Amino acid sequence: MPNVILHHYPQSPVSKKVRVVLGIKGLAWRSVEIPRLPPKPDLMPLTGGYRLTPVMQIGADVYCDSACIIRALERHFPEPTLFPGGADGMAWGVSRWTDGPLFSAIIAVVFADAGQDMPADFAADRGPLYFGPDFDMARIQAALPETLATVRAQFAWMEERLATGRAFMLGAAPGLPDALCYYLVWFLRGRYSKGPAFLARFPNLCAWEQRVAAIGHGTPSAMSAAEALEIARRADPAAAEASDADDPTGLTPGDTVTVVPLGVSGAPPVRGRIRTLSVQEVVLEREDERIGHAAVHFPRVDYRISRV
């Protein structure tokens, strides 16, 4: 049984999504709490510079981005499936909505609502990270009514879906779309001062929210960052070495590249040698003085790979 280690912090909405997946799968896992703000000195040896939250580790294999993490969890622990009723494939497309425009709109609501009450160091980091280098709190606040109207319209889609009497988004069993929608509802409820009143207009969504909350997060147990690094140091990467002759980029295993998330301003590129190239994943091999040899996994969607 692979030993899953999640590097995250409790308030992180994207980590909440992964914790719900761990709950759906009923897994026992190890929990390493990382800082909310850089520097993240005990995470960098694992990722090679990727700073977003969460990151999953299994031995010396490191998974960056919740999409890559959830895909790996489904591969390692196929039962119960995240795609009940044959929802494979297209359910990933739902994430391009929830994690893209809807996530951005909800972040904008939370920012506008917090305004000057947001701790200065947090605003200085997250403002440019989420809204780009020309981040302007006054503009985000002026747009709040319009932003709320778009969030209300999109939450109404979820409400409609649940109004048909389904317990979960795909039917009787929870799956990927539940995790994708739930973390945003959870975030809005907890971090927008008018979140509970905003959500009260969606009775089916609120009832579903209780059902997803009741799934829980599996069985986490705390682990220190030092212990996680020691596990990586003692392990060898398990990712299979594979090439893809059909890859449109022409990249091949052995190429030295950098990988960077798109749309995240100031994200440092991660450098390594391609170990695996596939339709959904690129895996880089890296050497680090604290953990030795590691394999760092990234999704292909929303990440740029550049030859160096």
Ligand X SMILES: N[C@@H](CCC(=O)N[C@@H](CS)C(=O)NCC(=O)O)C(=O)O
Cα distance between residue 264 and residue 132, in whole Å: 7
Cα angle, residue 66 at apex, residues 78 and 287 outer, rounded to 5°: 100
Q: Which residues contact 251 (CB under 8 A, 6 or more apart)?
A: 257, 274, 277, 282, 305, 307
Q: Which residues bind ligand X (CB under 6 A)?
A: 12-14, 36, 51-53, 65-67, 99
Shorter beta-carbon distance to ligand X: residue 162 or 225: 225
Distance (Å) of CA 41 to CA 37, 47, 48, 51, 135: 11, 11, 11, 10, 27
Shorter beta-carbon distance to ligand X: residue 52 or 173: 52
Shorter beta-carbon distance to ligand X: residue 127 or 162: 127
Q: How far is the CB of 130 from ligand X (least distance, A)?
A: 8
Contact call for residues 130 and 95 (beta carbons, < 8 A):
no
Shorter beta-carbon distance to ligand X: residue 27 or 180: 180
Shorter beta-carbon distance to ligand X: residue 180 or 277: 180
Q: How far is the CB of 99 from ligand X (least distance, A)?
A: 6
Q: How far is the CB of 185 from ligand X (least distance, A)?
A: 15
Q: How far is the CB of 264 from ligand X (least distance, A)?
A: 7
Contact call for residues 261 and 303 (beta carbons, < 8 A):
yes
Cα distance between residue 197 and residue 71, in whole Å: 35
Q: Which residues contact 190 (CB under 8 A, 6 or more apart)?
A: none
Cα distance between residue 291 and residue 43, in whole Å: 11
Is the sign of the CA dihedral 173, 178, 179, 180 positive or negative? positive
Shorter beta-carbon distance to ligand X: residue 7 or 286: 7
Q: Which residues contact 235 (CB under 8 A, 6 or more apart)?
A: 59, 60
Which pair of tokens denotes residue 213? 């909350």
Shorter beta-carbon distance to ligand X: residue 14 or 140: 14
- C-alpha radius of gyration, the chain, whole number: 19
Which pair of tokens denotes residue 73? 């969890």
Q: How far is the CB of 300 from ligand X (least distance, A)?
A: 13
Q: How far is the CB of 140 from ligand X (least distance, A)?
A: 17
Q: How far is the CB of 170 from ligand X (least distance, A)?
A: 21
Cα distance between residue 176 and residue 306, in whole Å: 31
Shorter beta-carbon distance to ligand X: residue 106 or 162: 106
Q: How far is the CB of 227 from ligand X (least distance, A)?
A: 21
